Homo-oligomer: A and B are copies of this chain.
Amino acid sequence: MQFSIEPNNGMPIYEQLVRQIKFAVAEGVVVPGQLVPSVRELARQLTINPNTVQRAYQQLQSEEILESLRGRGLAVCIGAKRRCISDRQSLLAERLTEVVGEAVRSGLDHDRLRELIEKAIKQAIRSGE
């Protein structure tokens, strides 16, 4: 389980963590029942403030992605994988709708928009290889 956080890119660090952990769960990198790194350990790895890790873990607990096993640590909840996947997709759809909506409202030609999107897809594929 490797995370990369970028301070000062606008998104709060704790939120970057939340997203990346959800992603890892959705991908099956960590499976339900498995323990996540301890607050101190993860904070040390990423050289960030333990409070920040703590806050991310708290949010994940409130969303029932993680659960506390007293004395042992935090584990991925049973139904978490399914929830993370649908979470991610609905979130993506929402953001996509929003940005596309704004593009259309700003008078951007539909074909020009599709062109931009194809370019974005190609770039994403290229950078992911």
A interface residues (Cβ-Cβ under 8 A, vs B): 7-8, 12-13, 23, 26-27, 49, 62, 67-71, 88-89, 92-93, 95-97, 99-108, 110, 113-114, 116-117, 119-121, 123-125, 127-128
Contacts of A120 in B (CB 8 A): 93, 96-97, 100-101
How many copies, total? 4
Identify A96's interface contact among B23, B117, B125, B128, CB under 8 A: B117
Instruction: Judge whether B100 and A117 touch: CB under 8 Å.
Output: yes
A120 and chain B: residue at smallest CB distance: B100
CA distance A105 to B8 in the complex (A): 22
Instruction: Judge whether B104 and A121 touch: CB under 8 Å.
Output: yes
